[in-house]
Amino acid sequence: MKCNPAHSVGALPGGQEEHLDHSQNRNFAVFLTAAMSTETQVDPFAAQRRNMVDWQLRGRGIRDERVLNAMTRVPRHEFVAEELRAQAYDDHPLPIGEEQTVSQPYIVAAMLESLALEPSATVLEIGAGSGYQTAVLAELAQWVFSLERLPGLAESAADRLARLGYRNVTVIVGDGSLGLPEHAPYDAIVVSAAAPKIPRALFDQLREGGRMIIPVGPAYAQELLLVRKQEGRVVSTSLDPCRFVPLVGEQGYPSGW
Ligand code: SAH
């Protein structure tokens, strides 16, 4: 909500201040206070979230308004444990249990911006984790299938997403390095864990012209690859260096690092 009382109750030009109807101004002020306190009651983190979007995302070059709006809407604090809520909008990753982490907001934004998602897109996400990025994807796409290998994380992500009202998401327990062939092809694939190389199964499940974003490399030397399928071939661009947990699976690292 935007509220700038100065615009509504400021001085009129030409010395007409004495004609202002002060009773109306009082009503306006009361209305503003009520609206602001409603916002605070509904979401005490709204201001922190707007700051995160302005400073960490816009300030570092994220330009896609759909991504910026989606990240302004999704309540990131709902995806971390109670004791970490105060840090939910800080500029770093956070633990989500079972030795996994939710990525730093900037990384989520950069990955999703690179996919240039259409609202009609069907997306496959590998590594639901807390469900935070799944929620951002659900704001941007028509349907999101999200695979998570750890049943405990998958269950709490699915519960959280349902409680927050996301209806266009399916969270499935399984080895995401093999993808989800039954719903392929996908317009876009987002992999949130690092693979030794681009898993063949995932590339095969991308539609012609589709995009996949995936961190590739060992524990301390990964790069974020944007992969496009053009005439059936891999066209890849390297974005930022990055650091993700391992993609543990048949076409990932079979037993972690
Ligand atoms: N994007 C998530 C964070 C992902 S952390 C969020 O917003 O919270 C990476 C996740 O990938 C972890 O939850 C991990 O369990 C999962 N993962 C690792 N290997 C996987 C695999 N082969 N299939 C599915 N999920 C996998």
Residue whose Cα lies nearest atom 18 of ligand 1: it is 247
Please tell me the predicted confidence (pLDDT) of residue 127. 98
Please tell me the predicted confidence (pLDDT) of residue 38. 52
Q: Is 130 a catalytic residue?
A: no
Q: Is 247 in the pocket of ligand 1 (CB under 6 A)?
A: yes
Per-residue pLDDT, averaged over 115-129, amounts to 98
Of 149, 171, 198, best ligand 1 pocket probe by most atoms within 8 Å of the beta carbon? 149
Per-residue pLDDT, averaged over 70-99, amounts to 97
Please tell me the predicted confidence (pLDDT) of residue 68. 98
Of 247, 251, 253, best ligand 1 pocket probe by most atoms within 8 Å of the beta carbon? 247
Measured between alpha carbons, how far is residue 74 from residues 89, 107, 128, 214 in Å? 11, 15, 15, 23
* CA of residue 36 to ligand 1 center, whole Å: 37
Mean pLDDT (the chain) is 88
* CA of residue 226 to ligand 1 center, whole Å: 18
List the one residue out of 139, 138, 142, 136 whose CA is nearest residue 122. Answer: 142
Please tell me the predicted confidence (pLDDT) of residue 240. 84
Domain boundaries, the chain: 46-242
Per-residue pLDDT, averaged over 16-40, amounts to 48
Which pTM does this prediction carry?
0.86
* CA of residue 80 to ligand 1 center, whole Å: 15
Choice between 4 and 193, residue whose per-residue pLDDT is larger: 193
Please tell me the predicted confidence (pLDDT) of residue 17. 36
Write the class of the CATH domain 46-242. alpha beta
Is the model's pLDDT at 186 over the cut of 90? yes
pLDDT in tens, 129-158: 999 999 999 999 999 999 999 999 999 999
